Amino acid sequence: MLQKRIDDQPSISRENIREAEGIFLRHLRGVGLKQTEQRSTILRTFLETREHLSTDELHRLVKKKDPRIGFTTVYRTLKLLADCGLASEVAFHDGIARYEHQYNRRSHHHMVCTECGASVEFFSPEVGEVEQEIGRKHHYLTTRHTFQIYGVCEECRKKRNGRRIV
């Protein structure tokens, strides 16, 4: 089971949700789409969670609020949220795309256990500095990056060592 995110705040405020809805609305208008109640429900549900969610997981949460919302609507809305910077896709060891919200969050990174799938979020200003340095070197104005470290967590290493002894 994937661990929950580490956030600076325990929950997102109503004011922040309204601000995120404004960002989403501007993006939708920019790409010629309308804001719908279904898209609003998906956005609010997504922003209220603190987990890395697959499309299936978000769909299950959204259906509790509005059973008429289909999987395809959730899938397409997640893509729109990623396009406007409110969400980002993260890939862990299982090949399932997961999303986390990016609205008003510090840049962070992930360490992922390749055996059990546990993840740890960590903050590293040095990684951001490397991004900027590489951007300058190659004449890019960088806007974002992803950085994930894969390995074996302490718990899985203990289990491994236990099996060898027996």
Residue pLDDT, tens place only, 76-125: 999 999 999 888 888 776 778 888 877 666 677 778 888 888 888 777 88
CATH of 106-166, one of 3.90.1150.10, 3.30.1600.10, 3.40.50.300, 3.30.1490.190: 3.30.1490.190
State the pTM of this model: 0.71
Containing H/E element for 101? strand 97-101
Dihedral sign computed on CA atoms, order 81, 85, 87, 89: positive
Residues 6+ apart with CB under 8 A from 27: 80, 83, 84
1-105: CATH topology:
Arc Repressor Mutant, subunit A (1.10.10)
Structure tokens at 144: 């974002």
Residue pLDDT, tens place only, 150-162: 899 999 998 888 7
